[in-house]
Chains A and B, each alone.
Chain A
Amino acid sequence: MAYRLSPARLWREKDSRYRLVGGMCRRCGRRFYPPRPVCPYCGSKSVERVELARQGVVETFAITYTVQEGFRDQAPIVYAIVKLDDGARVFAPLTDVEPEKVHTGMRVEAVVRRVRVDDDHGLIAYGIKFRPLRPAKSGQ
């Protein structure tokens, strides 16, 4: 079996994958995802881990028809940069949406889904995706 997903890495990243935990810079106040020890905006090492807002808007997106091996069942994949309501930007796939209906400014919410699966024997990597608010409200 081709073994790709690292148990240690999935375990290390579980907070950001399951609960949308990101970083908040104590110096400049900005939030970012995924969390990292140094603020990507001001370089401060004074960073704390916080749960980010679970809703936001699609700032930009790309529809990907050519996908790497292991992702064909999910194609086409819409990758988006989502600006969360607390200002953090998250790069993540969209789900539960027809690609032709995606538009900038679309309101979305975070969900935990299967992001990658290691064949029939390996690990299942769960992680954050975004979908249009559900149940659908009128006007969306």
Chain B
Amino acid sequence: MVLRVGIVGWGAYIPRYRVKVEEIARVWGYDPSVGAELGVYEKAVGGVDEDATTIGLEAALNAVKRAGIDPRRIGAVFFGSESKPYAVKPSATIIAEALGIVPDTMASDLEFACRAGSEGLRAAFGLVASGQIEYGLVVGADTAQANPGDVLEFTAASGGAAFVVGPARDAVAVLEGVYTYVTDTPDFWRREVSPYPVHGEAFTGEPAYFHHIESAVKGLMERLGLKPQDFDYVVFHQPNGRFPLRIAKRLGFTKEQVEPGLIAPYIGNTYNGSAFLGFARVLDIAKPGSRILVAPFGSGAGSDAYSFVVTDAIEEKRDRAPKVDDYIADKVYIDYAMYAKYRRLVLRYNM
């Protein structure tokens, strides 16, 4: 599998507000130790004027800065989110317009729970590999929704990351191979008129998250003839701080391979931003020659496993935009009341 494509630029964005898990537990009467059980201690919250589109746009601006290309050379913009501000009207066109990519481009919003952005990544790689476009922009961003008081609320967070993909000659990380594994598995869903998703409690684990990621990663390693110890870093989708460590152990990876890309303990689960932000954090520190495994997961359900090899070009691009850890460190705590207002959990009527 010689694809001659890769990541040309990467960008992250995490809003500045944080609410502590213990604050959510206080309001809804949970055991204060719930944060320790989930491995998540606080989550990122978008401000009152932020949504998945503005978050995605900030990440995309950073990705284009790192790529160092004229945005007009981008021929496809894919936006993956499950918190689209408009049910009908693309966010991808807003991002494309704001970056000066329009009108000579494709632009689509994609849906596949938390791996919609990853489906965009696969599509963009395919378009570049087949010579139909020179560069593609892929954005994964969410202001993750959760029913107030549901266990999901402890982790559902705001954030996003974006990647410019292009030919291997320009890449900071060359795509070595990718394998996708999908089935119809009803672990987590949101109906058309529902404001919040519903999940199958424990069913979200074994038959969904673990089975699909395990199958995708094993499928990739088999096809590439690679073993867990061949990778320097592994990044999984991060619905909480525990699942990524469990799936890593099951697949034979060490804690040391997982931790650099583990961001859920500090910001929660940013849905489409989750594995992408973990990957961005690894690119912030990876040395040339490093091999990175990235495995996003989306409910419904499916997982993609990618293998990337970092190139020398990464060093000069790294400092062109803020790093994931810069955003993690730059934070302001808010209480539940402000969080509820910012995430529009309080309905206010214009009367």
Binding site for B on A (CB under 8 A): 2, 14, 18-19, 69-70, 72-74, 95-96, 98, 111-115, 119, 124, 126, 129, 134-136
Contacts and interface: CB of A to CB of B under 8 A. Distances in A.
Contact of B98 (A72, A112, A114, A119): A112
B304 interface: no
A114 B341 contact: no
A115 B97 CA distance: 17
Contacts of A73: 48, 341, 344, 348
B98 A95 contact: no
Given A19-B100, A74-B49, A134-B322, A111 B330 contact: no
A31 B1 CA distance: 53
B30 interface: no
Majority DSSP secondary structure for residues of A touching B:
mixed
B145 interface: no
Contact of A18 (B98, B330, B332): B98
Nearest to B330: A135
Contacts of B330: 134-136
Chain B interface residue count: which class? Answer: 20 to 34
Contacts of B51: 114, 124
B54 A113 contact: yes
Given A112-B54, A112-B98, 8 more contacts: A18-B94, A19-B100, A73-B341, A96-B16, A111-B58, A112-B57, A124-B86, A129-B49
Nearest to B328: A135
Interface string B29-66: 00000000000000000011111011001100000000
A114 B326 contact: no
A98 B17 CA distance: 12
Contacts of B348: 72-73
Interface of B: 16, 47-51, 53-54, 57-58, 85-86, 94, 97-98, 100, 322, 326-327, 329-330, 332, 341, 344, 348, 350
13 contacts: A18-B97, A19-B98, A69-B350, A74-B48, A96-B47, A113-B47, A113-B54, A119-B350, A124-B85, A126-B53, A134-B327, A135-B326, A136-B330
Contacts of B322: 134-135
Contact of A114 (B54, B327, B329): B54
Contacts of A95: 47, 49
Contacts of A96: 16, 47
Contacts of B57: 112
Nearest to A93: B49
B20 to A, nearest CB: 19
Contacts of A2: 350
Contacts of B85: 124
Contacts of B53: 126
A18 B350 CA distance: 27
Nearest to B342: A73
Give the residue among A72, A95, A135 with the most B Cβ atoms within 10 A.
A135
Task: Pick the 8 closest A-B CB pairs, nearest first.
Answer: A135-B326, A18-B98, A135-B330, A113-B49, A114-B49, A136-B330, A135-B322, A73-B48
B160 to A, nearest CB: 14
Q: Which of B49, B53, B327, B341 has the most CB of A within 10 A?
A: B49
